[in-house]
Structure 1
Amino acid sequence: MRRRYWIQGILFVVLVMLSYGLFENTYTKDYVSVMENISVSSVDKSDSLYKEIEQKAPSFEVEPQNAKIHKVWKKMPGLNGLEVNVDKSYLKMEDTGEFNKEKLVYNETEPEVTFDDLPAAPVYRGHPDKKMVSFLINVSWGEEYIPNMIKALKKHNLKATFFIDGKWAQDHVELLKMINEEGHEIGSHGYNHPDMSQMNKEQITDQITKTNGIIKSIIKKKPEFLAPPAGNFNKYVVNVAAEHNMETIMWTIDTIDWDNPSKAQVMNRVIPKLEGGSMILMHPTKVMEDTLEDLILKIKEKNYKIGTVGNLLSENRS
């Protein structure tokens, strides 16, 4: 009896080994390799169309731009360049056999100096050649207007960056969770709306660590951006934020929505100044609840995308 079980065990092991060999043999690997490279092998580099794309590619390419400390806008991101992918462009044009610049395929190329390479400095805008803007929503009050603002953003499949006051977060845990669950970016707005420009390093450190701790305990993520209340900061604010791997965010365009303007006034404060890389400051107010969708539509009409601060400050072109 034991001998029979022993023989059965040997047969089982042999079958497993044979099965493994069947699926991992050299011929199978060669077949997979051929399938993975079939698109590459179909590129005929001797074709006159391929050579034409190679010849014309440099005239369509764009050099990457380095991040820099601007004399006015301070810390500014760079922008990836564009390099023609000749193989993929050829495959898109192969069916007609004719060169078509609209079918060119590009790879993005990184600049030598990126945003992360720069020293600590306040950030007022993204790169002007990037066709994107961001909504900065500073939250210390106005919770009654947030749900409808979220609905307007959701309707257009957009994400904003909400800078949350630590005290407000403690008092409105579920609302903060909802903002986060909707996929919006969460930054810090300090604790209890202080004037951080009047604080020393220790006080600023307490503001940052306290608010970060509160927000992280609620949404399980630490903020990467700090928006000092009322835009008040000193050198300690920027440096302490950097020590906590945070960027100090200001703004490019201010809606001044806290001063009870009309919808027309808000639109006139934003749209004429709009350009690539703009960061648009607002708050949860009645006028923004009523105006946000009109603002979104007008910005889209001008062919700008609307993204988070994180997206805006990346070197990616979109």
Structure 2
Amino acid sequence: MKKMSVFGIIFVMAFMMVSNPLTNEFISKIKGNSLEVSIEKDSLYHEIVLNSEKYKVPASDAKIDKIWKAIPGYNGLKVDIEASYKKMKESGEFEEEKLVFKQVKPAVHLEDLPPAPIYKGHPDKPMVSFIINVAWGNEYLPDMLATLKKHHVSATFFLEGRWVQKYPELAQMIADAGHEIGNHSFTHPDLKVSSAAKIRQEMMKTNGVIKATIGSSPVWFAPPSGSYRDEVVTIAAEEKMGTIMWSVDTVDWQKPSPDVLINRVMSKVHNGAIILMHPTSPTAQSLDRLIIRIKQKQLQINTITELLKEERSVDSFSMEKMKDHKKD
């Protein structure tokens, strides 16, 4: 009986609460607010989904070009719907400038391609690389390194093996400054006419002395004077190195005036450019202005490794750049 009485009291109290007009009003408000928020979220979310397709930028696969040989891939972009919604939900309205993007990898990567020389990075990547071949010109290295440091620029130095053997402290200084070190053969021969055994010996001996000096082996190889045949590229690949050429030449070994050197580079510089230079007086004198001019074109300057990465150079993708991309 006591249990029955307790249940009866609970039933009556529950009935009164449910039947209470104030309770009904409270529940209605909660339901209404929830429904309103749900509708608002669904509407905004749906709008982001509908718009996302027109902002999509497909990934670009790595490929072998008939003229430019190996071209690295480049990540695509798609709208991060969840992240974009979170940025817009406070206003509850679709706002183009608040779109958040995430990168999409290509299906074909540089390492998937057969061995081929690389003359430039991807044409959509707003970055260039300085490659600095070193077999002489020690007196100009300190000024060049100071200028690179001043502008927070990292370059890729291709070092001749016998030069490293003779000047290990300079090689270490370059590496300590944060620059990438590449292989430029041991004795600077014409590899296009060298035997396969000679080619491999030049590469392996240089890798050995560089590793003994700075503690790591190069992953990039630059043929002396840019002279090579297909077998050179294949042997470099077997030695775990990619072969690097260039798309812009300073021709600084001819000792042009700094103005001529700068104009020569700026008339040819492009997205993905690999710019060849050496430690020379005109290069040391023009490097400061050259870096400033290149950066004014909204181009970053970094190592070969960074240039050839598929990742886009910036996480955010502005609407202005997107529109430019669509026009192209």
Q: Above 0.5 in TM-score?
A: yes
Distance 2:283 2:236 in 1: 29
Partner amino acid for 1:203? K
SS in 1 for 2:44: helix
- 1:216 matched residue in structure 2: 211
Deviation at 1:99, TM superposition (A): 2.1
Counterpart among 253, 258, 274 of residue 258 in structure 1? 253
Contact kept? 1:115, 1:314, Cα under 8 Å: no
Distance 2:39 2:210 in 1: 56
SS in 1 for 2:228: coil
Contact kept? 2:140, 2:281, Cα under 8 Å: yes
Alignment length (residue pairs): 277
Distance 1:255 1:261 in 2: 9
Contact kept? 1:165, 1:192, Cα under 8 Å: yes
Counterpart among 189, 192, 195 of residue 194 in structure 1? 189
Query: Cα RMSD over matched residues?
Result: 1.6
Which consecutive unaligned segments of at least 5 residues does structure 1 have? 1-42
- CA distance change for structure 1 residues 211 and 48 in 2, over 3 Å: closer, same or farther? same
Partner amino acid for 1:100? E
Answering whether residue 296 of structure 2 is matched by residue 307 of structure 1, we say: no
Matched ranges for 1:54-203 at <5 A: 54-203=49-198
Distance 1:185 1:45 in 2: 52
SS in 1 for 2:146: helix
Answering whether residue 274 of structure 2 is matched by residue 279 of structure 1, we say: yes
Partner amino acid for 1:242? A
Deviation at 1:148, TM superposition (A): 1.3
Share of identical aligned residues, percent?
A: 48
Flag the structure with larger Rg.
Answer: 2
Contact kept? 1:140, 1:192, Cα under 8 Å: no
Distance 1:74 1:167 in 2: 30
**What do the CA deviations read for 1:73-93 (whole angstroms, capped 9, x no partner)?**
001101110011111112222
SS in 2 for 1:46: helix
Deviation at 1:145, TM superposition (A): 0.9
Deviation at 1:45, TM superposition (A): 8.8
- 1:241 matched residue in structure 2: 236
Which consecutive unaligned segments of at least 5 residues does structure 2 have? 1-37, 314-328
Partner amino acid for 1:255? T
Distance 2:211 2:96 in 1: 48
Contact kept? 2:41, 2:89, Cα under 8 Å: no
Answering whether residue 317 of structure 2 is matched by residue 317 of structure 1, we say: no
SS in 1 for 2:267: helix
SS in 2 for 1:280: strand
Partner amino acid for 1:126? G
> TM-score with structure 2 length normalisation?
0.82
Deviation at 1:293, TM superposition (A): 1.0
Contact kept? 1:61, 1:84, Cα under 8 Å: yes
Counterpart among 288, 293, 311 of residue 288 in structure 2? 293
